[in-house]
A and B are shown apart, each in its own frame.
Chain A
Amino acid sequence: MGNQKLSSAKELEELRKEILSKRRPDRIVVTVCTGTACQTYGSLEIYRKFANEIKKQGLKGAVVEAKATGCHGFCEQGPVVVIFPQEICYVKVKLEDVPEIVSATLTQGRVIERLLYEDPVTGQRIAKDPDIPFYKNQMRIVFGNNRYINPREIDGYIALGGYSALSKALLQMTPEQVLEEIKKSNLRGRGGGGFPTGIKWETTKNAPGEPKYVIVNCDEGDPGAYMDRSLMEGNPHAVLEGLIIGAYAIGSHEGFIYVRQEYPIASENTIQAIKQAEEYGFLGKNILGSGFGFNVKVHRGAGAFVSGESTALMSAIEGKVGEPKMKYIHTAVSGMKERPSCLNNVETWANVPLITNKGAEWFNSIGTEGSKGTKIFSLVGKVNNTGLVEVPMGMTLRQLIYDIGGGIPQGKKFKAVQTGGPSGGVIPEQYLDTPIDFDELTKLGSMMGSGGTVVMDEDTCMVDTARYFISFCCEESCGKCIPCREGLRTLREILSDICEGKGQEGDIEAIEDIAEVMQDASLCALGTTAANPALTTLKYFRDEYEAHIKEKRCPAKACKALTSYYIDPEKCTACMICFKNCPTEAIHGSKGIVHWIEQEKCIKCNTCFEVCPPRFSAVRRISGEPLPPPPAHGTKVIREKKR
């Protein structure tokens, strides 16, 4: 394609029409999700097979096109294939299903029943993806375009009206008007802080000093959160367009996109997007003939959680060690290279083109009083429909987990939901009807954060959860300030002791004291919030701490030191499954001979418990009570005779 630079709104509109006119109205598009999860399940091969098979079967009378798209969000059901215009959604598609889909669905329009999503509640098969409860209850204004476009081709984005917001901002609005619109929209930072974006922009705009920088924070470090990755990978132009609009409003001519090292596809797709945007003249000098110029560079992170903090991130872009600095002066005034720098998260930037196009009033019609618009959550952990979901602010946790997430697998009991990553906290069942927004979750001692939502069931130990997050922060603490460095180290020791059955009276009080000092005296947000997981688990699940300390019992039977595995000789049918799966050969027995576990060899990996067929349920976990003796050597299985 001989892309040439566009120099007016008219030329952009003509290009869009030209792209659309090349598409036949009767064409059928097969989109294959190539997000990280689906790719892992082999979706790239499936996409190639579609392309080959369409050629091979030589479809007559119809124009069929296969397209590899970004993440659709329904990761649990991957690989996901959606056929447009009918919106037929096939889930868990295998390579060998491809020829049949081509010959039946694409050629004859026949729906293949077995590949449709089956509602676990009603048992019904659902053909169209808007009817699937997972999608039906969402509002996908930011994330929704992912499933239509190939992230590596700019034309698809333009066909959907892409870069029209940029054209509107640059050619019909003054920078002040753009800024005013963002301020009026009440957009708040999606990275976790929830700071009003418009005010941040205004601060940088009015700060003295040139040049000014604009930065995209794609250092999504919260474990269990991957919405920024999927947006950056699946729709990089939306983020880029938002960034250019922001730069125009602020008066910046240089931008950076900081991408986490663990996300190579995101940085590849972003680099490609920048190249294509430059070719069309959305970047560079005199963008769309407006006289405004802007350039952007991608900077790969090198793996440090604290680098997501604004001052640390800016140090990292300068090629230095990513340690936070004291914020006497906000980075919006003096940030990168001591120049005014405006840093926003990926999702925040992606909201900007929408607001520019549709207006602040439209944006204000979505969400709650204090939090407007939608938010993308990564719904993970012990939940049926794991994936990325975008919902209006104000939806309750219950709706999110049960209506969209489909509840807890295997009929287990819900225990808590962890939000806000390592800086957040756990929320127990009695608060499930809390509306999700920036302010409500903070009231419960947690926070919305960047949108990681980890569901935990009865098998998750709350003390162990606190220990997990504290040791995560302990490893990621840069060590610059003492409250964070030493506080976390001591907290980790205490919590590990409790999990190992070495807890003592007074430990709980010590945790609370240390947490208080850390909240008051740490240098950056990592330190001030790091104790939240310990404090919230303590607040809502104090009984679990006490059971560990006083009774040396783990109620969830998860802490290894306090739990033993035992095979019930009455129930064991000597099926050999646990015997074969044990990684340390700790299980003894043979065909017809009841199995038993040699406790000295057992590493408590839970494998036997998981593999023992539910109809036998012979493996038991025991905590806080003595272990029954193993059966006498060579005990034979007593089988009931079939009648």
Chain B
Amino acid sequence: MVLKTKSKKPMKLSSAVKKAVGSYQKDKDMLIQILLDLQSMFGWLSQEVLTEVSEQLEVPITQVYQIASYYKAFSLTPRGRHIVKVCLGTACQVRGSPRLLDTISAMLSMKPHETSKDMRFTLETVNCLGCCAMGPVVVVDGMYHSKPSTPALRKIFETAK
């Protein structure tokens, strides 16, 4: 099976997993690190990826799934082309981030933690990005936006195709 990776270079699933597993010398303690690498490579962890990791690392699939479902960094469903993250840390919270989330939610017509049907956006929330001075903060595809106005948000979302 050939999967799309973020680097646009299609890579055979088994060899992608082999590479990730190999870079930690097949050390079972490194399961989380391996999954983190695969998550950033594919943007999500499919059933096929998890099965392949289980086989190559010789770890039961239940254990792989337990890790993948426990930690927030992993997504078990495909995510949109553009990731919108709204910081809900305490500092952003007191400066009005829940209202900002409502605004964005209304603009994109989707709830937090959802991915739009056309796979364009995924709306996520985070618990503090450590740049509290700029709050409330929205991160769109890795670009940080400090206290964006409604027209500014409209522009950001319109340009994200």
Contact = CB atoms under 8 A, between A and B. Distances in A.
18 contacts: A75-B133, A226-B131, A230-B130, A301-B73, A302-B32, A302-B36, A302-B67, A302-B72, A302-B73, A303-B73, A322-B70, A378-B132, A381-B95, A386-B91, A476-B127, A581-B150, A603-B103, A605-B100
Contact of B132 (A226, A465, A582): A226
B120 interface: no
A607 B99 contact: yes
B131 to A, nearest CB: 4
B71 A303 contact: yes
A36 B102 contact: no
Contact of B135 (A78, A303, A380, A421): A380
B123 interface: no
A302 B134 contact: no
Contacts of B33: 299-300, 319
B5 interface: no
Contacts of B158: none
Given A320-B67, A607-B103, A40 B131 contact: yes
B30 A382 contact: no
B151 A454 contact: no
10 A-B pairs closest in CB distance: A75-B133, A303-B72, A302-B71, A226-B130, A224-B90, A380-B91, A223-B89, A380-B132, A223-B128, A386-B133
Interface string A384-428: 001100000000000000000000000000000010010000000
Contacts of A456: 94
Contacts, number: 147
B127 A223 contact: yes
Given A382-B94, A386-B91, A454-B90, A583 B133 contact: no
Interface in A346-388: 378, 380-382, 386-387
A76 interface: yes
A46 B93 CA distance: 30
A305 B149 contact: no
B67 A224 contact: no
Contacts of A322: 70-71
A387 to B, nearest CB: 6
B28 A583 contact: no
Contacts of A606: 96, 99
Nearest to A422: B90
Interface in B64-110: 66-67, 70-74, 88-91, 93-96, 99-100, 102-103, 106-107
B8 to A, nearest CB: 21
Contacts of A75: 131-134
B39 to A, nearest CB: 9
B27 to A, nearest CB: 8
Nearest to B57: A319
Interface in B123-146: 126-135, 144, 146
A456 B90 CA distance: 10
Contacts of B71: 301-304, 322
| Residue of B30, B70, B89, B102 with most chain A CB atoms under a 10 A cut-off | B70
Nearest to A455: B94
B29 interface: yes
A261 B127 CA distance: 12
A320 B130 CA distance: 26
A263 interface: yes
Contacts of B153: 583
A40 B132 contact: no
B126 to A, nearest CB: 7
A36 B129 contact: yes
Interface string A437-474: 00000000000000010111000100001001100100
A223 B30 contact: no
A494 interface: no
Interface string A546-584: 000000000000000000000000000000000011111
A604 interface: yes
B31 interface: yes
B77 to A, nearest CB: 16
B29 A317 contact: yes
A601 B45 CA distance: 38
A318 B29 contact: yes
Interface in A256-271: 261-263
B35 interface: yes
Interface string A67-81: 000000001101000
Most buried by B among A225, A319, A421: A319
Interface residues of A, number: 63
A584 B94 CA distance: 23
A321 B72 CA distance: 12
A221 interface: yes
A421 B103 CA distance: 26
Contact of B32 (A316, A378, A584, A610): A316
A223 B150 contact: no
A129 interface: no
A516 interface: no
A380 B131 CA distance: 10
B106 A262 contact: no
A460 B127 CA distance: 19
Given A36-B129, A229-B130, A321-B66, A583 B107 contact: yes
A65 interface: no
A284 to B, nearest CB: 19
A355 B93 CA distance: 38
Given A382-B94, A603-B102, A605-B99, A36 B72 contact: no
A222 interface: yes
A226 B128 contact: yes
B70 A581 contact: no
A264 to B, nearest CB: 10
Given A303-B72, A318-B29, A581-B149, A263 B130 contact: yes
B89 A224 contact: yes
A37 interface: yes
A476 B33 CA distance: 21
B96 A222 contact: no
A468 B150 contact: no
Contacts of B103: 583, 603, 605, 607
Given A40-B144, A302-B72, A319-B28, A381 B133 contact: no
Contacts of B151: 580-581
Nearest to B71: A302
Nearest to B130: A226
B100 to A, nearest CB: 8
Nearest to B128: A223
Contacts of B127: 221, 223, 305, 472, 476
Contact of B74 (A302, A382, A452, A581): A302
Contacts of A222: 128
A20 to B, nearest CB: 33
Given A262-B130, A302-B73, A603-B106, A380 B29 contact: no
